Amino acid sequence: MYCKEVFLPRYSAWYGDNDKSYSYSGITLQPNKWNNGLLFLKEQIGKIVNINFNSVLMNWYRDGEDYINWHTDAEKELGKNPIIASLNFGATRRFLIRRSDDNSIKLQFPLKHGTLLIMKDDLQHFWQHSVPKEKKIKQTRINLTFRTIV
Ligand SMILES: O=C(O)CCC(=O)C(=O)O
């Protein structure tokens, strides 16, 4: 077995159908089994966007010190133009997007409790996204990104 430790400035867990492992940022996550709560959310959100998601990445930001750096979700397992549904609970955090070829073009959205953000089409080809540190935020936040591994 091959095992390595990678520092992530948040906690992450991967849930999905049995054979749907996911590699990103130099790590490969094996899926935890679906639980009833996640299955319920997956089905409800799947109806809204008309997609049968088969996995979800859970990120837990303990407070504003936890963050996710600039990245794209352009892993080949997600297919060419992935539809990713991002559901948010807890603290409102800033979600930033910037052009990959011109970092000065930047947009930001506050992701409030209950917000559903859909990323789709060619967004992952031309835009990076991040959730930066916000040291004043003391509340916790959970983000679920429902995905389809092809
Ligand atoms: O926490 C968020 O809103 C973003 C999560 C994210 O970018 C990801 O899981 O790839």
**pLDDT one-digit tens code per residue, 79-123:** 999 999 999 999 999 999 999 999 999 999 999 999 999 999 999
Strands of 84-90's sheet, edge to edge? 11-16, 55-61, 141-147, 84-90, 116-119
Average pLDDT over residues 39-57: 96
89 alpha carbon to ligand 1 midpoint, in Å?
A: 12
Q: What is the DSSP letter of 77?
A: G
pLDDT band at 5 (very low <50, low <70, confident <90, very high): confident
The whole-number average pLDDT for the span 129-135 is 98
Distance CA 109, CA 112 (A): 9
Q: Which residue has the higher pLDDT, 24 or 112?
A: 112
Find the distance separating the first CA and the last CA of the chain, reported in whole Å.
25
CA distance 137 to 50: 35
pLDDT at 25: 74
What is the 98 CA–ligand 1 centroid distance (Å)? 14
Residues whose CB falls within 8 Å of the CB of residue 113, separated by 6 or more in sequence, listed in order: 88, 89, 90, 91, 92
Q: What spacing in Å lies between the alpha carbon of 119 and ligand 1's midpoint?
A: 11
Instruction: Assign 2 a pLDDT band (cuts: 50, 70, 90).
Output: low
What residues pair up with 71 in beta bridges, in sequence order?
129
The residue to mutate among 86, 98, 130, having the most atoms of ligand 1 within 8 angstroms of its beta carbon, is 86
Average pLDDT of the chain to the nearest whole number: 93
Is the domain defined by 11-147 classed in CATH 1.10.357.10?
no
**What H or E segment, with its residue span, contains residue 24?**
strand 22-24
